[in-house]
Amino acid sequence: MKKFKQLAWLFAVVAFGLFGQQSCKPKGGSSGVGADAAAKAYVAPGTYDEFYNFVSGGFSGQMSVYGLPSGRLFRVIPVFSVDAEKGWGYSEESKPMLNTSHGFVPWDDLHHVALSVTKGEHDGRWAFGNANNTPRIARVDLQTFRTAEIIEIPNSAGNHSSPFITENSEYVVAGTRFSVPIGDNTDVPINTYKENFKGTVSFIGVDPTSGEMNLSFQILAPGINFDLARAGKGKSAGWFFFSCYNSEKANTLLEVNASQKDKDFIMAVNWKKAEEYAKAGKGMKKKVRYAHNKFNESTHTATSVIKEEVLVLDPKDCPDMVYFMPCPKSPHGCDTDPTGEYIVGSGKLAAVIPVFSFTKIQEAIAAKNFDGEYDGIPVLKYDAVLHGEVQKPGLGPLHTEFDGKGNAYTSFFVSSEIVKWNIQELKVLDRVPTYYSIGHLCVPGGPTSKPHGKYVVAYNKITKDRYLPTGPELTQSAQIYDISGEKMKLILDFPTIGEPHYAEAIPASLVMPKSKKIYKLEENKHPYAALGEGKAKVERKGKEVHVYMSSIRSHFTPDNIEGVKLGDVVYFHVTNLEQDWDVPHGFAVKGANNAELLILPGETQTLVWKPEKTGVYPMYCTDFCSALHQEMQGYIRVSPAGSNVPLTFSTGTNLPTDNK
């Protein structure tokens, strides 16, 4: 065996001599990586990244936060799925956040991120995310990195064209992927699609101070599929552009049947006009059901309210509000450049990238330069609104981001590459391979009026052979390219949570100074808070036993509880009395069927426990809190239903003494 190894070494040395260093490199991985790549992505221990990267979690339903350029993972923010690490969807306080008109939905699919903007630039206040499956939009507060609000979208299915945002965060939008039967009778044959199915795009107003969302109005649209969208900027700020496919109105085998026509559409919506119509009462109030969930930062508790009405604007009654622009072959991405003049459509099956001109769109509308109508909506003439086409840019264009220097960066799924091109001249300037099958891409500030440039990050579908394998499912992956020079240069691969779709990156300086460190105890308005060890107590209300418990390094108060009986429902309301950054406590009781707790400093969280056997149950802190974390424990005694063991509680005094 040893000999064999020596032989192998000898062979390796000879091979090295013959073929040079290249032949020794792992295949695929290192090609195209410059010698200075490591230095460019290196962020020394103890120093900070320049950008936060907010990355959608796709089918996991969450949003994750990385540093750029290091690719280090900081946090997975639970949004639309339960998350044991954060207690999200497990504590009684957070459960209402996942309520919908269909009840509690524990797992959804988050595809796109939109960071709030003021005057077209990042303001570092909120990150919005969409739930695809049970249509919703969430708002994450960037002071707490917690989901603050979730609003459900009625008359929608597959909320893919969401949550894109207007120039001053006036609205985030939600365009339905699936058209569906709308109205009182939704029990219709599927093959009556063309008569009975409709699409909608919803405009969700965002309160400029609190960020609170409100379903302002919906626009009724033909029964096609809405894919992605972007708001205008600057001169086009009052408009919104939605890519649409399936103008064939197929309801089966869309893979074939929705790819028949040469051109589908980008739907241009004059949202300022729509807003005027809504205010003037032009819409119809429709009966619907949708949940609106809010997390209250002072009670640390979410509430869910079911709302029952939505204002619907029908383009038939609202002239000059909606237009269609023909766009080649099932457009996916629909991106406006930083000036707001150019709208880039990316037809998944197209051999060109069409670039539309906002000025020409306005001229064509004024001149009524139409190519007929589609379901009563005027279709603008393709040539009249086109700035030009990028010819043969690559295969399968999907998404485009911008660097603020007149360049666009488009991802190509089929040819696995990013192509840099000049918007004005429509000329390809550079192309780099991605490993492999890129979907979305992100330039810091790329969708804003003022991109920060510097990097483009690729979010890939396929990771085969890029990392050590982990069985049939591999890590998800992103790749960072330096775009500061003329040529794009790959500098780092980094793994992500599954599955990254759209992402945004924002300078750390816009978020970091506002980051919250603790919840102040004096602001804790939770009705069951124990705001001090002296306030800890246990109360019986019929069959309910409420434990007002406190935790602080390194004990619970109370930590000995007796007098619970079979048939009782025990509520552990645990208040973390710490007022110290980064010192959460956990709570677990043996045999709990539903959950544990994680309680942040100053917070109160509740675990419901229904003991099913008599005995003494241990409970302990699950978050490594201190040198005496292993001592942070207690006992709760459960007696038979008819027992006369009195309800007592204590810490340190070894009570009760009279019922031994």
Partner 1 sequence: MKKITFSLLFAAGIFLISCGDASQSSDSAGSAEQVVAGGQEAVQDDESQKDVVKIAVGSPDHTTLVAALKQAELVTALSNAGPFTVFAPVNAAFDQLPKGTVEGLMQDDKKADLQNILQYHVAVAVYKVENMKDGQMIGQANGDNITLTVKDGKVKVNGTANIVASIQASNGIIHVIDAVLLPPAK
Residues that bind partner 1 (CB under 8 A): 36, 39-50, 69-70, 508-509, 512, 516-518, 553-555, 578-581, 583, 601, 625-628, 631, 652
Q: Whose Cβ is closer to partner 1: residue 52's or residue 271's?
A: 52
Q: How many residues does the chain have?
A: 660
Smallest separation, CB 601 to partner 1 (Å): 8
For residue 38, how many C-alpha atoms fall within 13 Å in the half-sphere facing its CB? 2
Q: Whose Cβ is closer to partner 1: residue 303's or residue 554's?
A: 554
Which residues contact residue 137 at a Cβ distance below 8 angstroms, ignoring those fewer than 6 apart? 128, 129, 130, 131, 150, 151, 153, 159, 162, 163, 172, 174, 204, 213
Minimal CA–CA distance to 433: which of 416, 420, 448? 416
Q: Whose Cβ is closer to partner 1: residue 262's or residue 631's?
A: 631
Residue 212 CA, chain-centre distance (Å), reads 17
Smallest separation, CB 513 to partner 1 (Å): 11
Smallest separation, CB 464 to partner 1 (Å): 29
Which residues contact residue 82 at a Cβ distance below 8 angstroms, ignoring those fewer than 6 apart? 88, 89, 90, 98, 106, 107
Smallest separation, CB 297 to partner 1 (Å): 15
Q: Whose Cβ is closer to partner 1: residue 450's or residue 553's?
A: 553
Q: Whose Cβ is closer to partner 1: residue 422's or residue 554's?
A: 554
Cα–Cα distance for residue pair 399/56, rounded to 1 Å: 15
Sign of CA dihedral 146, 500, 503, 111: negative
Smallest separation, CB 53 to partner 1 (Å): 14
Q: Whose Cβ is closer to partner 1: residue 508's or residue 566's?
A: 508
Q: Whose Cβ is closer to partner 1: residue 516's or residue 590's?
A: 516
Minimal CA–CA distance to 325: which of 367, 248, 386? 386
DSSP states of 157-196: SS--B---B-TTSSEEEEE-SS-EE-SS-----GGGHHHH
Q: Whose Cβ is closer to partner 1: residue 41's or residue 318's?
A: 41
Smallest separation, CB 123 to partner 1 (Å): 19
Q: Whose Cβ is closer to partner 1: residue 363's or residue 580's?
A: 580
Give strand ranges (E) for 246-384. 263-270, 284-296, 301-313, 322-328, 331-336, 342-347, 352-357, 370-374, 377-380
User: Do 190 and 210 touch, CB atoms closer than 8 A?
Assistant: no
Cα–Cα distance for residue pair 255/91, rounded to 1 Å: 42
Smallest separation, CB 338 to partner 1 (Å): 22
Smallest separation, CB 130 to partner 1 (Å): 31
Cα–Cα distance for residue pair 353/340, rounded to 1 Å: 17
Minimal CA–CA distance to 599: which of 88, 79, 65, 145? 88
Smallest separation, CB 405 to partner 1 (Å): 19
Smallest separation, CB 30 to partner 1 (Å): 20
Q: Whose Cβ is closer to partner 1: residue 22's or residue 47's?
A: 47
Cα–Cα distance for residue pair 82/378, rounded to 1 Å: 44
Q: Exposed, middle or buried by CB within 10 Å (0-12, 13-18, 19+), for 359? A: middle
Amino acid, single-letter form, for residue 392: K
